[in-house]
Amino acid sequence: MLWLERWHQETSSFHLPVGEMTTTLDDVACLLGIPVAGRLIQVDELDHDHVVDLLVTHLLYLVEEAVGQVSDFGACVTYTALKERYEHLLNRCNHLLGEDLSEEELSRIRSACVKVLLLLLLGYTLFASKNSKTISLLWMVAIRDFPNIGTWSWGTMGLDFLYEQLNLTSSEHVGSVGGYMTLLMVIYYFLIFFKVNRKCIVFCMILVC
């Protein structure tokens, strides 16, 4: 997307022929309907022990599996591994429904299944990585607090992540960008539509069709 080259880190906005454009918290709240006020994750990085604890306690990894995961990918997990984890937990949950297990055990497995699904969803949307292969387990800090998940400012954290990814594009060594590109493109094209002569756009669309 060539228009990403028009991003200016100093003003946190795109400098376009039709004027400056940026994405605001109002845009996020209006288009996505997610909280833009609330708690924020206060840490930038997770240490080895913290990551292992998140995997074991909340995603029900075995300790050996968790340590291996951290050794290979650090504080990140691949989408493939998350999908496999989700299928494993879902099958395990369905299999155990017919057995005489405590409601507490079933609830623990269901909770882990939902947390994996939420992490996958975030990895494909708000916090999409530029390599399209892994997602940071940093977001598990908020997901693990499942009963209060709505008290986190997902919109603010998502927009901050998007700005951070866009700032990285200013480097000539960066060939791709992360963040929620769909949100950015929707705002970009709506801005073009309202700033440029609408009749011209309609005429061009007719010619293309």
Q: What is the pLDDT of residues 78-100, one digit of tens each?
A: 899 999 999 999 888 877 766 66
Separation between Cα atoms, residue 145 and residue 26, nearest integer Å: 26
Q: Where are the alpha helices (DSSP H) in 7-139?
A: 25-32, 48-58, 63-73, 79-96, 103-124
Share of the chain above pLDDT 90, in %: 40
Element (H, E) at 15: strand 13-16
Residues in the chain: 209
- What integer pLDDT is reported at residue 193 of this predicted model? 65
Domain boundaries, the chain: 1-27+153-209, 41-152
Low-confidence ranges of the chain (pLDDT < 70): 1-3, 18, 97-101, 170-175, 191-209
- What integer pLDDT is reported at residue 161 of this predicted model? 92
Q: What is the pLDDT of residues 141-166, one digit of tens each?
A: 999 988 899 999 999 999 999 988 88
The DSSP result for 25-60, as a single string, is HHHHHHHH---SSSB----S---HHHHHHHHHHHS-
